[in-house]
Amino acid sequence: MTTNQQKEPIQSKIDFLNEAFIRNPHPIYAEVREKEPVSRFLLPSGHYAWIVTTYEDVAAVLNDSRFVTSHPVEEGVEQRKLPSHVEIISRNLSNVNASDHRRLRRLVQKAFTPRMVEELRGQIVELTNDLLDQVQAKGEMNLIQDFAFPLPIKVICEMLGVPVEDQDKFSDWSGAIMEGFNNPMLAERSEQALIAFIDYLQQLIAKRRSDLKQDLISDLIRVEEDGDMLSEHELYAMIFVLIIAGHETTVNLIGNGVLSLLEHPEQLEKLKNEPGLIHSAIEEILRYDGPVEVNNVRWATEDVELQGKQIRKGEMVFVALSSANRDGSHFTDPTTFDITRKVNDHLAFGKGIHFCMGAPLARLEGEIAISTLLRRMPALRLQTNRELLDWRHGIIIRGLKEIPLVF
């Protein structure tokens, strides 16, 4: 008998479809951490899964090889065949298990180096100022659409070597694909965007193979270690992760960060007066209201007991990064937004072998974007009441659809 055929448990207070929870999940997470830190909840698909909410347990699951990100194949059970375009991108760094992950990460790190990220600094500064130039005279803007969304997609496209005339397509595809991951109701639109994305990559990679450039796609084609190289499908999957995951993380790091600063004017003034605090400010933004609410699903490869609960082999487990990052048993004054916080070992980028490889780029973009925004528009303020802001629905990403600002 499968988990979902068993008698269904009482539903957890965690409800990712509930509007009040979407707007502010933290009070519910606090209650769940105290009363039932490992609990069952209902997915939008109608299936039940486990969710882990304390810092200690989240870190443990992220480091536990018994919880894998690729669905384990059960002997004698026919596996559901994925659509071809989904199959192509499914073997990416976020989804493969330990041995495959080590191999892929080792190869990709030969191309995606810290030096390469740092060399993007000047380009990010230029793109940031270009976007702000377009709205400066208006005295108002939508932070997400005018700034936070286009900036990281332009950076990643430039890094990959995507022609300028095609970068808007990547922006549209990224938004549609991620919305589908977050909301099953938008799955069909997401699937069409994914097909178009894969078709484009096939053509672009074919061009690069015949004419290598000084860009990341060319570098990924070149990488080799002991005769091992990325396969065609692994190339598609790697570029997919860089664009989709990297883009979405930075969009909501900027959006959530600016909102947190505006909601805490004393911290905003402190950052304006001491621009050097931007590094610790970014870390506090990531902890306080980070861009990833729940990490990718994991499956138990064997029966595991956690906080007295029996997680059965094959059951789905989610780790709530947003909850872990406000756990009072790990952080002092966890509900306080403090950009000078000294000890801040948050889990916003995950932990263990699946720690986000794009974290240095996201941090760099966040620092440049927010510090430049505050320097150029020091009178920045919300154009509407915070309660009227519309949060994106879904499980994985935490972010706003729009943030209207005046300056």
Full set of structural domains in the chain with CATH: 3-406 (1.10.630.10)
pLDDT value for 291? 96
pLDDT tens for each residue of the chain, 407 residues long? 344 444 444 456 899 889 999 999 999 999 999 999 999 998 877 889 999 999 999 999 999 999 988 766 554 444 444 445 555 655 555 555 666 767 777 777 877 788 888 999 999 999 999 999 999 999 999 999 999 999 999 999 998 999 989 988 888 887 788 777 656 677 788 888 888 988 898 899 999 999 999 999 999 899 876 678 888 888 888 888 887 777 889 999 999 999 999 999 999 999 999 999 999 999 999 999 999 999 988 999 999 999 999 999 999 999 999 999 999 999 999 999 999 999 999 999 999 887 888 899 999 999 999 999 999 999 999 999 999 999 988 888 899 999 999 99
Pairwise CA distance, residues 45 & 36, whole Å = 23
Other CB atoms within 10 Å distance of the CB of residue 200 = 15
DSSP 8-class letter at 332: S
Q: For residues 282 and 288, what is the distance between their CA atoms, to the nearest angstrom?
A: 10
Rg (CA), the chain: 21
> What pTM value is reported for the model?
0.88
Cα–Cα nearest to 225, from 353, 341, 109: 109
CA distance between the termini of the chain = 59
For residues 217 and 227, what is the distance between their CA atoms, to the nearest angstrom? 19
The pLDDT value recorded for residue 88 is 60
pLDDT at 1: 36
Phi, psi of 198 (to 5 degrees): -65, -40
- Residue 141 pairs in a beta bridge with 405
Exposed e or buried b per residue across 126-164, where buried means at least 16 C-beta atoms within 10 angstroms of its C-beta? ebbeebbeebeeeeebbbbebbbbbbbbbbbbbbbbbee
Q: Where do the DSSP E strands lie in 227-326?
A: 298-300, 304-306, 309-311, 316-319
Indicate the DSSP class of residue 292.
B
